[in-house]
A and B are shown apart, each in its own frame.
Chain A
Amino acid sequence: MPLPFLHDTITALATPQGVGAIAVIRTSGKEAIEITNRIFNGKDLTQQSSHTLHFGEIRNQEAIIDEVLISIFKAPTSFTKENATEISCHGSSFIIQQILQLLIEAGARLAKPGEFTQRAFLNGRFDLAQAEAVADLIAADSRASHEVAINQMRGGFSKQISSLREELIQFAALIELELDFSEEDVEFANREQLKALLERSLQTITHLIQSFSTGKAMKEGIPTVIVGKPNAGKSTLLNALLEEEKAIVSDIEGTTRDSIEDETIIEGVKFRFIDTAGLRDTSDTIEAIGVQRAKEKMEQATLILYLFDVLTTTPDDIALIKKEIKSLDKPFLLIGNKVDQVQTADLPPFEKVNPIHWISAQSSQDVSHLEKVILNTVIDQDLNRNEVVVTNTRHYEALVQVERALQKVKQGIQQPISSDLLALDIREAIRKLGEITGEVTTDDLLGYIFSKFCIGK
Chain B
Amino acid sequence: MFNEYDVIVVGAGHAGNEAAAAAAKMGSKTLLITMNMQVIGQMSCNPAMGGVAKGQIIREIDALGGLSGIISDKSMIQFRMLNRSKGPAMWSPRCQNDRMQFAQEWRLALEEIENLDFWQDMVTNILVDNGRVGGVRTGMGLEIKAKAVILTSGTFLNGIIHIGDKNFRGGRSGEKAAFGITEQLIQLGFEAGRMKTGTPPRVDGRSLDYSQMEEQAGDENPGKFSFTNTPNLKEQRSCWVTYTNEEVHETLKRGFDKSPMFQGRIKGLGPRYCPSIEDKIDRFADRNRHQIFVEPEGWHTVEIYVNGFSTSLPDYIQYEALKKIKGFEKVKMFRPGYAIEYDYFPPTQLKLSLETKLVENLFFAGQINGTTGYEEAACQGLMAGINAHNKINEKESLILKRSEAYIGVLIDDLINKGTEEPYRMFTSRAEYRLLLRQDNADIRLTKIGYDIGLASKERLENVEVKANKVDKLINDLKQKKVKPDEINSYLDEVSSATIREKSSFYNLLKRPEISLPLLNDMNEDLGGYLNKYQKEEIEQAEILIKYQDYLDKERKNAEKMEELENLKIKQGFDYTTVKALSTEAREKLSKIKPETLGQANRISGVSPADISILMVYLGR
Q: Which of B86, B307, B560, B616 is in CB contact (< 8 Å) with A419?
A: B86
Q: Contact at A424–B616, with CB atoms within 8 Å?
A: no
Q: Residue among B89, B428, B580 with the most chain A CB within 10 A? A: B428
Counting chain A residues whose Cβ lies within 8 A of the other chain, the interface size class is 35 or more
In residues 172-212 of chain A, which contact B (Cβ within 8 Å)? 176, 178-185
Interface residues of A in 291-315 (CB under 8 A from B): none
Which chain B positions have C-beta within 8 A of A115? 612
Which residues in B have their C-beta under 8 angstroms from that of A419? 86-87, 90
* A135-164 contact mask (Cβ, 8 Å, vs B): 1 or 0: 110110110000000000000000000000
Give the residues in chain B near A456, CB-CB below 8 Å.
271-275, 280
CB contacts under 8 Å to B, within A415-457, are 415-421, 423-424, 427, 441-442, 445-446, 450, 454-457
Q: Of A135, A138, A424, A457, which contacts B550 at CB under 8 A? A: A424
Task: Please report the C-alpha to C-alpha distance between residue A424 and residue B90 in the assembled complex, in whole angstroms.
Answer: 12
Cα-based distance from A180 to B433 in the complex (angstroms): 12
Q: Is A353 an interface residue (CB 8 A)?
A: no
Partner of B616, one of A121, A179, A182: A121
Q: Verify B560–A7 contact, CB threshold 8 A.
A: yes
Task: Say whether A118 contacts B612, CB under 8 Å.
Answer: yes
Q: Which of B46-54, B175-183, B356-364 contacts A (4 or more CB under 8 A)?
A: B46-54
Task: Report B130 CB to chain A, min CB distance, Å.
Answer: 36
User: Which chain A positions have C-beta within 8 A of B51?
Assistant: 183
A138-B616 CB under 8 A given contacts A182-B83, A424-B553? yes
Q: How far is the CB of A241 from chain B (nearest CB, A)?
A: 40
B86 touches A182 (CB 8 A): yes
Could you say which residues of chain B place their CB within 8 Å of the CB of A17? none
- The reply to whether B581 and A178 form a contact with Cβ atoms under 8 Å apart is no
B96 smallest CB distance to A (angstroms): 13
Contact of B428 with A445 in the complex, beta carbons under 8 Å: yes
Contact call A139/B563, Cβ cutoff below 8 A: no
Chain A residues with Cβ under 8 A from B284's Cβ?
454
Q: Which of A126-134, A219-227, A262-270, A328-336 contacts B (4 or more CB under 8 A)?
A: A126-134
The distance in angstroms between the C-alpha atoms of A420 and B512, with both chains bound, is: 13
What is the bound-complex CA distance between A141 and B582, given in angstroms? 12
Q: Of the 9-residue stretches B117-125, B217-225, B603-611, which lies at the interface with chain A? A: B603-611
Distance between Cα atoms of A176 and B273 in the complex (Å): 14
Partner of A420, one of B89, B581, B608, B615: B89
Question: CA A179 – CA B619 in complex, angstroms?
Answer: 42
| Contact pattern, A 382-420, Cβ under 8 Å of B = 1, otherwise 0 | 000000000000000000000000000000000111111
- 8 Å CB contact of B87 from A123, A139, A420: A420
Interface residue A42 (Cβ < 8 Å from any Cβ of B) = no
Contacts of A134 in B (CB 8 A): 616
Knowing A135-B580, A454-B284, A457-B307, say if A183 contacts B52 (CB, 8 Å): yes
Q: Are B616 and A135 in contact (CB under 8 A)?
A: yes
Query: Does B93 sit within 8 A of A, measured CB to CB?
Result: no
Cα–Cα distance between A233 and B10 once the two chains are bound (Å):
93
A135 touches B613 (CB 8 A): yes
Contact of B608 (CB < 8 Å), options: A2, A178, A180: A2
Q: How far is the CA of A442 from the CA of B602 in the complex (A)?
A: 12
A296 to chain B minimum Cβ distance, whole angstroms, is 38
Whole-angstrom distance between the Cβ of B311 and the nearest chain A Cβ: 12
Contact of A180 among B46, B307, B428, B547 (CB under 8 A): B428
Q: Known: A138-B580, A180-B53, A180-B427. Contact between A1 and B609, CB under 8 A?
A: yes
Q: In the complex, A419 Cα to B517 Cα: how many Å?
A: 22
B273: chain A residues within 8 A (beta carbon): 446, 450, 455-456
Mark B586-620 against chain A: 1 for CB-CB distance below 8 A, else 0.
Answer: 00000000000000010010011101110111011
The answer to whether A182 and B87 touch across the interface, beta carbons within 8 angstroms, is: no
| Chain B 304-339 per-residue mask, 1 if CB under 8 angstroms from chain A, else 0 | 000110100000000000000000000000000000
Q: Which residues of B contact A180 (CB under 8 A)?
A: 52-53, 426-428
Give B265-293 interface residues, CB cut-off 8 Å to A.
271-275, 280, 283-284, 287, 290-291, 293
A contact residues around B428 at 8 Å (CB): 176, 179-180, 423, 442, 445-446
Asked if B564 CB lies within 8 Å of chain A CBs, one says: yes
**Residues on B with beta carbons closer than 8 Å to the beta carbon of A141:** 609
B245-278: which residues lie under 8 A (CB-CB) from chain A?
271-275
Contact check, A135 vs B608: say whether CB atoms are below 8 A apart.
no
Bound complex: CA of A399 vs CA of B582, how far in Å? 26
Q: Is B620 a contact of A123 with CB atoms below 8 Å? A: yes
Judge whether A132 and B580 touch: CB under 8 Å. Answer: yes
B609 A118 Cβ-Cβ under 8 A: no
A-B contact pairs, 10 of them (CB 8 A): A5-B563, A6-B615, A131-B617, A136-B579, A185-B290, A185-B291, A420-B87, A421-B550, A423-B433, A446-B273
A residues sitting closer than 8 Å to B (CB atoms) are: 1-7, 112, 115, 118, 121-124, 128, 131-132, 134-136, 138-139, 141-142, 176, 178-185, 415-421, 423-424, 427, 441-442, 445-446, 450, 454-457
Apart from A2-B608, A5-B560, A122-B615, what are 6 other A-B pairs with CB-CB below 8 Å? Answer: A418-B85, A421-B550, A423-B428, A446-B273, A457-B274, A457-B291
Q: 9 closest pairs, A vs B, by CB?
A: A418-B87, A142-B609, A420-B87, A185-B291, A135-B580, A139-B580, A4-B612, A450-B272, A454-B284
